Amino acid sequence: MPRLQLERSVTVNWPVEIVRAHFLDFEHHIRANVHRSITYTLLASEGEQRRVRQQFKVLGLPKTDELLVAPSADGAVVQSFEKGDFAGGSLVFRFTSLPEGGTRITAQLDAPLRGMNLLMAPLLPTIVAGLVDAGLEEDRLDLQTYNPGR
């Protein structure tokens, strides 16, 4: 099956521990409306693992995904697509500590292409890269006032 694979990154001026906590804190993302074009619903929470529904539009078409969000053993945050267009895929956020004290956030998407996404395959990398870039920028801006545990 064809797949969409892409990698995007951004640098923030916060330590890895704060940045990782932010990417796991869906309660904060919902409360602060971090991603204005996405509506999140927390479906379940157990330890650091969250089951989340996200609803948004792409090219005016409504999309709904169910994600399982959890930390991995190597320190990444993994969003596994369980339902929706990218079911069977994942968005993995990796965090690299920088010498000057900041963090490089790398987002790696790997998702199967089927249905309408398969038909849109030539356009999809550009569209999805723009969405991931916008999301990373919203996270970068939100981190300026993020207070873990609040």
Examine residue 96 and state whether it is found in any structural domain, yes or no: yes
What CA–CA distance (Å, rounded) separates 107 from 66?
Answer: 18
pLDDT tens-digit series, residues 86-108: 999 999 999 999 998 899 999 99
Examine residue 61 and state whether it is found in any structural domain, yes or no: yes
Taking residue 94's Cβ as centre, other Cβ atoms within 10 Å add up to 20
CB-CB contact of 130 with 9 (8 Å) = no
Expressed as residue numbers, the domain containing 88 is 3-143
Residue 150: per-residue pLDDT: 56
CATH number, residue 101: 3.30.530.20
Model confidence at 73, pLDDT cuts 50, 70, 90, reads very high
Strands annotated E in the chain: 3-12, 39-46, 49-58, 61-71, 77-83, 90-97, 103-112
Examine residue 130 and state whether it is found in any structural domain, yes or no: yes
What CA–CA distance (Å, rounded) separates 18 from 103?
Answer: 10
Residue 100: per-residue pLDDT: 87
Number of domains within the chain: 1
